[in-house]
Amino acid sequence: MPRLSMALGVLSAALLDLPFPLAGPLPAWRAQFAWLALVPLMVALLRIAESPERGLRWRLGWALGVGWTAGAVWYGLNCYWVYGTMHTYGDMGPAMAAVCLVLFSLFLGAWWALLGLAVVVVRLATNRRGVAAAMMPVLWVAMELAISRVPSFPWDQLGVSQVDNGLLMRLAPWTGVYGVSFVLAGVNALLAWAVVEALAGEKRGGWLKHGPTGAVVVAAVLVGGLGVAGMRVEKPRPAAQATAVLVQPNLDVIADNTWTAARWTEKLAEFRKLAGEGCKQYIAGLPETGAPLGEVECGPVPEPPALIAWPESPAPFRDADPQFRAAIEGIVQADRAPVVVGNVGMDLDAASQSYRIYNSASVVSREGNFVGRYDKMHLVPFGEYIPARGLLFFAKQLTQNLEDLQRGEVRKTFRIGAGDGTAHRYGIFLCYESVFADEVREFTRMGAEVLVNLSDDGWYGDTSAPWQHLNMARMRAIENHRWILRDTNNGTTASIDPYGTVRQSIPRHRADALPAEFGYESELTWYTVHGDVFAWGCLVLGGGAMVLGMRKVLWREAGRG
């Protein structure tokens, strides 16, 4: 039993890696694995709870162990890019980078251990498989919310796997990604219950006699109707109203941190050239999928774009640098368009006479005025700051090479005027912030009619991470029903419509510009207004069930129940 349970947990981890990008765009057929990947783990947990020959401590211990192992293996597979990022760009040797990946996976896998414990506790407290199975999707969503709030790493939540599902995605504007995760986990739980019922082989009367068969039939109908058919449902295609130019500079994340005078001249000339490419071909969909080419055609006198964007990148752009300001003002004047540019924000601290450094985005009006700056509020741990730096004495190389950035304190939107005399409100968020649904929705709630995501995915190389990152941004578009202009250093630069469809993109790993067509939206979704109400409800229900269940189990064990 212990070895089989552990093997089933590992099997679930491997299956659950398949409905997410591995090293390129996700084929639609692989998304179907999300409907059954958790079945082995859930079967293992139910079987552990139903081992009467074992004591309570054994069952609870194995629930923790199987859940933890499954979680650690999944994070190791899904986030394997952590090794390459630390080794290639963090100046770590192979052994230390591997240790970082293992510790990272074990830390986040611990939340799966709590999930395993909760499932077994509910089963033991109620003595009913059906109740435990019904609670599984609740507990799964509770775990996803807890991971997003405590370790703050809601990477590849289960529902993101269905971002191309035109039917299931109708839930997201109401419940956020958590509602989609709930449905997927629910079908997995139904199948797991059917498997355990069949294995138990207990004689039952009435409709329960055919319960396992009925559960499999119901699950098959749901998978076929919501999963397979959902992927074939064509999403609406709202019309675009404006065009932005998204510059993809393709800078080397290490070599381009500093520029010589000649490099400044070369790169700024390239910036000016790319910023003017508002009429050209693009990929009408995701790159590397065989999507057809499209083209933005312009008349003899092209209209100025509504926006020019330069992404988060290693370019040595500092907002206090007169050379940088003069360069951006020159581009604005040449193209008669406002600019959003990723740069290093700098504020002088009067007390210490030193600068506070931020990862920022500056907004420059079409008149050439620097009108505002957004400072990134959710920084990347071990990328932009070192948590508990004093405790990480064993990682001297990492902690010495990285200077902590400051967190932004105010979330902002910007009213930006276009050449046609109109003005619209934009919300700008940077890189890693796109994975936080409850934070991105705040920009829309504050009035943003379109969202701009500036990112540098060059740190990930040719791994799964850039594609995973893109799909999470697509989920934010669906939740808030907003266009997202996603401008990256080296890809994937894209225009994403309010239904999560990548309407336009350009090839990765080359200096290029995307003439990104987009629109403005003003209506607010239920999720935008109310946030993670559904997920919090699951957390309260799941947490309450675990606490009360544990109390009942312990009383029963002590002979008081």
CA 465, 535, 553 angle in degrees (round to 5)? 110
**Position with higher pLDDT, 74 vs 313:** 74
When pLDDT is cut at 50, 70 and 90, the band that residue 253 belongs to is confident
Edge-to-edge strand ranges of the sheet holding 354-364: 370-375, 354-364, 339-349, 307-310, 242-248, 512-518
Q: How many Å apart are CA 42 and CA 196, to the nearest integer?
A: 9
CA atoms lying within 13 Å on the CB side of residue 527: 28
- Determine contact, residues 249/270, Cβ cutoff 8 Å: yes
Per-residue confidence (pLDDT) for residue 383, from 0 to 100: 66
What average pLDDT does the segment 491-511 reach? 96
User: 3-class DSSP state for residue 232?
Assistant: helix
Q: pLDDT tens digits for 332-391?
A: 888 889 999 999 998 877 777 778 889 999 999 998 889 999 999 988 776 666 665 555
**pTM of structure:** 0.93
| Sign of the dihedral defined by the CA atoms of residues 502, 507, 508, 514, in that order | negative
pLDDT at 120 over 60: yes
Torsion of CA 149, 155, 161, 164, to 10 degrees: 90
**Position with higher pLDDT, 339 vs 56:** 339
Q: How many Å apart are CA 94 and CA 348, to the nearest integer?
A: 39
Per-residue confidence (pLDDT) for residue 379, from 0 to 100: 82
What average pLDDT does the segment 296-312 reach? 87
> Residues of the chain with pLDDT > 70: what percent?
93
Q: How many Å apart are CA 516 and CA 533, to the nearest integer?
A: 34
DSSP 385: B
Distances (CA, A) of 177 to 155, 406, 543: 12, 29, 20
Least confident of 234-248, 375-389, 402-416: 375-389
Q: What is the residue whose two structure tokens read 């059954």?
A: 36
Per-residue confidence (pLDDT) for residue 274, from 0 to 100: 93
33 is written with which tokens?
């694995």
Torsion of CA 92, 95, 98, 104, to 10 degrees: -70
What phi-psi label fits residue 520: left (phi over 0), alpha (psi between -120 and 50 degrees) or beta?
Answer: beta
DSSP H helices in 127-276:
129-149, 172-175, 177-200, 211-222, 229-232, 261-275
What average pLDDT does the segment 408-417 reach? 92
- Determine contact, residues 305/245, Cβ cutoff 8 Å: yes
User: 3-class DSSP state for residue 301?
Assistant: coil
- Determine contact, residues 47/80, Cβ cutoff 8 Å: no
> Residues of the chain with pLDDT > 90: what percent?
64
Q: Peptide bond preceding 492: is omega within 30 degrees of 0, i.e. cis? A: yes
Q: How many Å apart are CA 360 and CA 379, to the nearest integer?
A: 11
Element (H, E) at 47: helix 39-49
Domain with CATH 3.60.110.10 in the chain: 242-343+410-526
Q: What is the residue whose two structure tokens read 């040449």?
A: 334
CATH 3.40.710.10 fits 242-343+410-526, yes or no: no
The whole-angstrom distance between residue 111's C-alpha and the CA centroid of its chain comes to 18
Q: How many Å apart are CA 221 and CA 187, to the nearest integer?
A: 10
What average pLDDT does the segment 428-453 reach? 96
What average pLDDT does the segment 7-24 reach? 96
